[in-house]
Structure 1
Amino acid sequence: MTVLPTILLADLVTELPAPVRLQRLVSNLMAEFGGGAVVLLQKQQDYLKPVAMQGLAREALGRHFVVAHHPRLATIMASRQPVRFAPDSSLADPYDGLLDAQPEQPLAVHDCMGMSLYLEGECWGAITLDALEAGTFDAASEARLQHYSFLIEAIIRLCRLERDNRVLRQSRSDSEPRLVASQADSGIIGQSKALQQVLRQLDVVADSELPVLLLGETGTGKELFARRLHQLSPRSKKPLVYINCAALPETLAESELFGHVKGAFSGAGQDRAGRFEAADGGTLFLDEVGELPLSIQAKLLRVLQNGEVQRLGTDKPCQVNVRIVAATNRQLAERVQQGEFRADLYHRLSVYPLPIPPLRERELDILLLAGHFLEQNRVRLGFRSLRFAPEAEQLLLQYHWPGNVRELEHVLSRAAIQALSQGASRQDIVTLQADWLGLADTQQTAATALTEVAAPADLNGLTPKQTVLNGLTLEQTVLNGLTLKQALQCTQRQLIQAALQQHQQCWADAARSLGVDASNLHKLAQKLGLKANRGQP
């Protein structure tokens, strides 16, 4: 007799974090039924999102499977009973080519069954089981899955109750119901520690009325974080109004923000409300706020101070209640010192500054995001299946991503199109090769640029390009098996050691000679394992 019911019941009475509880569920089902993969998918709008899985490539966790685009998933979701597909079914499986336990040549799934899951009469999602070997699942397997469905749904229900209890313990006094953090569909994907830390801060500050300044490099997705903040705030039922300050012509910026009355200027044929009035009661998101002209900054400051806007062409003020969320990829503090941004406005906007981590600091999220964009391109271009070659995955993880998430999205779109230009058939399982990503040349260019950076001529007489890494140049090191990341770290380590030796272990002088800030040099050295404290390397 199977021990699975006993294991699942034991998990029901054991205190576990929800992600661990769900992962144990799929692992136990995998052990019970065998096969190649088990995936637990939660329904969100028109797609299914994996929340726990075993046996699939990691990037699959970032995919959103639109039900209408996957006939097997649509069939499963349309039934309240387990559904088993014949090994020779003509319906493509959403996991074709994605199973971990497959040879180098990707294979289609040959056996599949699944079942929709319901909580309190509403469809929660589905559980799917897949195998490469035909005949893995049979009628008895269907009956067992049906038998276990009550325990599976009970575990999911327990996770929901635990989440609701946490929300109640942190309950707020406002009467309007709002989304809890786990329900906010902002499109943010990732599980990295850096991202989760930002999301926790965002969830806390969302409940306040404080202005928030989102800081971060271009392409990090600041608009998605602003959307999440609005969804979790007391203003979620009111509008979120977006405005790109960098795209505002100075001559029209005042009208766009504050509105105008008929006849205020040539072409003003009727009264028009500005973005502040449109966002009344809600949130106004000022993207690229650092690009606002100084003349508009002064008027924006007045609105933030008094809560009043004055349409262009009239003296009559209008009261507005707007929360400001701003974003910039500029160093506003430096722009203040340079006289390009008002100090008083900067302090008004940066009551709660929130840095968004760049993609290179979210290494665990790269493949999840890649899987998400890969599924988008699969649907857009009509592929049966798109997957990564192992070398392509490795290159994605090693790349520096100066353009962050936006660059990753564009790279994968180009790679999918490149697959077609290389003769790939949309009906096959298409494996994206590393050289289709177009990152190899970029990586080499970056490496060359780093090694050719001007360095002090007195670093033992060596330039960075001449610095020896265990007896080899950078180019030779890469060819002898080190990854680019490892080779760059070796170069950095050698340069810092040489600079410190040249300047008698004076960190300030070494940093000056290397052209970097002293505090940044300390952080880099710590990361490279060169020093145990600020005093000695």
Structure 2
Amino acid sequence: MNSTLLLEVALDLANSINNEDRFDRLLSSIRKAINCDAVVLLAFQTEQLKPLAIQGLAPDTLGRRFKLDDHPRLAQICSGKHPVRFPSDSTLPDPYDGLLLAKEGDLPVHSCMGLPLYSDNQLMGVVTLDSLQPNAFSDIPERTLQLITALSAATLKTAIQLKALEQRAQQAQELVQELTHEALTRDGGELIGNSPVMLALKSDIQLVAGSDYSVLILGKTGTGKELVARTLHQLSARRQQPLVHINCASIPETLAESELFGHAKGAFSGAEKARPGKFRLADGGTIFLDEVGELPLSVQSKLLRVLQSGEIQPVGKDSVASVNVRVIAATNRDLAEEVRLGRFRADLYHRLSVYPISVPELKDREQDILLLAGFFLEVTARKLGIRQLKLRPDAQASLLDYPWPGNVRELEHVISRASLKASRGSEHQDIISLSAQDLDLDRQADNFQTPATHLAPAENAMPPVDLEGLKTMTETFQKNHIIAALQHSSGNWTLAAKHLELDRANLTRLAKRLGISIEKKVKPQ
């Protein structure tokens, strides 16, 4: 790399608008100096490398996370401070095998090189270069590699420092820059996505995470509300304290108060010993109330007391105890409508929604779909013991065309199921490519459609409307409307839920409780 080219690169990087642009220009500059088919800049995180920018690789590579224990070439690059040039006939598996745009299928004998990037003796990341030409990197002078390494390390360090300054400017306190290893690996653990709605979500999270405000997370089923809650906790000053998760929909109404606030020994039948309750367990940390809209009204008033005064009263005890807990709640319901209908306390709603955060649906994040697919492919490959999973072009197109009613959770399940199907009979293949047929998204879409049916209430499911009481009249009203919506939708539960402005899962649960069943008739050929 001569001095003129080095000056051009430095000036080019100085004119970069943001980190993404800066990284892409860096890779383009490296390719000017060294002829290669693929170049990647990766950031070092605990025990893994995260791609920041790629050239010459499949787009889903950005969504992958390369664990060093699973990728010996990357581990070798990270283990030293000098450039590593792998022999063309190296037997170590290449992490990008099958992902190069210039080559379909397995990588033949090729050249591979890695540059570790350090700052103050701390590994920040690596640059990897691949060429389909054997021995392509053998004659590159060490001085050239030193200059490229120094330039790449400076670029990455500048980007990290700028990001830290932006975070400190937005928040009153310094936020952690990376999630802990546990948070990164549990259920995905990382908010992956660069779409505008995801960038807005991440901005909201960083803005409110450092405070002790109560947060209400709103979003459809499967969008990742629990992941948002964990991220809020990990970015807060309480990150070293417990995060206690409780699913409000799974608690029987008779035990909800005890589950949240604890009980004394002998407080009720079966209470053989005292129990502290979830709020006491979360003291000093965060409690995550998932599906908070399912809490019975009798418990909502007790929860309001905790938010107002920080006091809990275990069942069977006269005394109260003080707790210091941050409350994060989540729901797929329209709580404002629930308040209007009298099913949720208005004062509790306002206490919980000091800072509401909306999690976008996957259909509104089209440019994130392949990134998420890449993440799930890497996770699934490790689970199944497959060295490499990749998407064929028709599979990529199929993923982008599908509406994803089940959101990110559905995408994860589709990738897992397709990978298992594709691996059947391919035990001896190092690289397995998923096709649109493996994904089978047409059948997946059919699962959300119910065939035309004859709708009928179960026996004794619809008593005549009378004035027995408010509960009977309310249930009758609900039954009539649900059956009308199902008839109007030809038995399609998803469309019926949309007409009723309900989540599909909640609609089916409510219908079951009200005794509504569907009687299917099959016409002979």
TM-score (norm 2): 0.80
- Superposition deviation, residue 13 in structure 1: 4.1
Residue 267 (structure 2) aligned to one of 261, 264, 269: 264
1:69 equivalent in alignment to 2:70: yes
Equivalences for residues 257-406 of structure 1 within 5 A: 257-406=260-409
1:37 equivalent in alignment to 2:29: no
Deviations 1:225-276 (A, max 9, x none): 1122222233333322211111212232212210122222344343322111
The corresponding residue for 1:9 is 10
SS in 2 for 1:235: coil
Residue 429 (structure 1) aligned to one of 428, 431, 435: 431
Which amino acid in structure 1 is aligned with residue 160 of structure 2?
Answer: R
Which amino acid in structure 2 is aligned with residue 442 of structure 1?
Answer: Q
Q: How far apart, in 1, do the equivalents of 2:166 and 2:146 lie?
A: 31
Equivalences for residues 96-107 of structure 1 within 5 A: 96-103=97-104, 105=105, 107=107
Distance 1:141 1:448, change over 3 A: farther
Select between 29-38 and 333-342 the one with higher mean Cα deviation: 333-342
The corresponding residue for 2:28 is 27
Distance 1:231 1:325, change over 3 A: same
Q: How far apart, in 2, do the equivalents of 1:444 and 1:327 lie?
A: 29
Unaligned runs of 5+ in 2: 454-497, 502-525
Which amino acid in structure 2 is aligned with residue 34 of structure 1?
Answer: N
Distance 1:27 1:425, change over 3 A: farther
- Superposition deviation, residue 281 in structure 1: 2.5
Kept in 2: contact 1:181–1:203 (CA 8 A): no
Kept in 1: contact 2:246–2:289 (CA 8 A): yes
Kept in 2: contact 1:83–1:142 (CA 8 A): no
Superposition CA RMSD, Å: 2.6
1:163 equivalent in alignment to 2:163: yes
SS in 1 for 2:409: helix
Q: How far apart, in 2, do the equivalents of 1:138 and 1:309 lie?
A: 69
- Superposition deviation, residue 348 in structure 1: 2.1
- Superposition deviation, residue 333 in structure 1: 2.5
Which amino acid in structure 2 is aligned with residue 85 of structure 1?
Answer: F
Distance 1:445 1:260, change over 3 A: closer
The corresponding residue for 1:251 is 254
Distance 1:406 1:169, change over 3 A: closer
Deviations 1:362-387 (A, max 9, x none): 00100000000000111111112111
Distance 1:448 1:259, change over 3 A: closer
Select between 136-145 and 354-363 the one with higher mean Cα deviation: 136-145
The corresponding residue for 1:509 is none
Kept in 2: contact 1:64–1:375 (CA 8 A): yes
Kept in 1: contact 2:223–2:407 (CA 8 A): yes
Select between 12-21 and 127-136 the one with higher mean Cα deviation: 12-21
Distance 1:12 1:392, change over 3 A: closer
- Superposition deviation, residue 160 in structure 1: 2.3
Residue 179 (structure 1) aligned to one of 176, 180, 196: 176
Kept in 1: contact 2:311–2:320 (CA 8 A): yes
Kept in 2: contact 1:279–1:322 (CA 8 A): yes
1:135 equivalent in alignment to 2:138: no
Distance 1:168 1:244, change over 3 A: closer
The corresponding residue for 2:50 is 49
Distance 1:107 1:238, change over 3 A: same
SS in 1 for 2:226: helix
SS in 1 for 2:279: helix
SS in 2 for 1:160: helix
Kept in 2: contact 1:96–1:109 (CA 8 A): no
Kept in 2: contact 1:415–1:432 (CA 8 A): yes
Q: How far apart, in 2, do the equivalents of 1:447 and 1:245 lie?
A: 29
TM-score (norm 1): 0.78
Kept in 1: contact 2:167–2:175 (CA 8 A): no
- Superposition deviation, residue 166 in structure 1: 2.8
The corresponding residue for 2:113 is 113
The corresponding residue for 1:506 is none
The corresponding residue for 1:92 is 93
Distance 1:219 1:297, change over 3 A: same
Which amino acid in structure 2 is aligned with residue 441 of structure 1?
Answer: R
1:215 equivalent in alignment to 2:218: yes
- Superposition deviation, residue 34 in structure 1: 1.7
Residue 441 (structure 2) aligned to one of 434, 439, 442: 439
Identity of matched residues, %: 50
Distance 1:49 1:109, change over 3 A: farther
SS in 1 for 2:394: helix
Kept in 1: contact 2:13–2:25 (CA 8 A): no
The corresponding residue for 2:509 is none
Distance 1:212 1:160, change over 3 A: same
Q: How far apart, in 2, do the equivalents of 1:362 and 1:232 lie?
A: 24
Which amino acid in structure 1 is aligned with residue 379 of structure 2?
Answer: Q
Q: How far apart, in 1, do the equivalents of 2:309 and 2:366 lie?
A: 44
Q: How far apart, in 1, do the equivalents of 2:87 and 2:8 lie?
A: 30
Kept in 1: contact 2:363–2:403 (CA 8 A): yes
- Superposition deviation, residue 426 in structure 1: 4.6
Distance 1:317 1:351, change over 3 A: same
SS in 2 for 1:43: strand
Which amino acid in structure 2 is aligned with residue 145 of structure 1?
Answer: L
Residue 245 (structure 2) aligned to one of 242, 247, 255: 242
Which amino acid in structure 1 is aligned with residue 440 of structure 2?
Answer: G
Q: How far apart, in 2, do the equivalents of 1:310 and 1:242 lie?
A: 20
- Superposition deviation, residue 126 in structure 1: 1.0
Kept in 2: contact 1:386–1:431 (CA 8 A): yes
Equivalenced residues, count = 450
Unaligned runs of 5+ in 1: 454-513, 518-537
SS in 1 for 2:199: helix
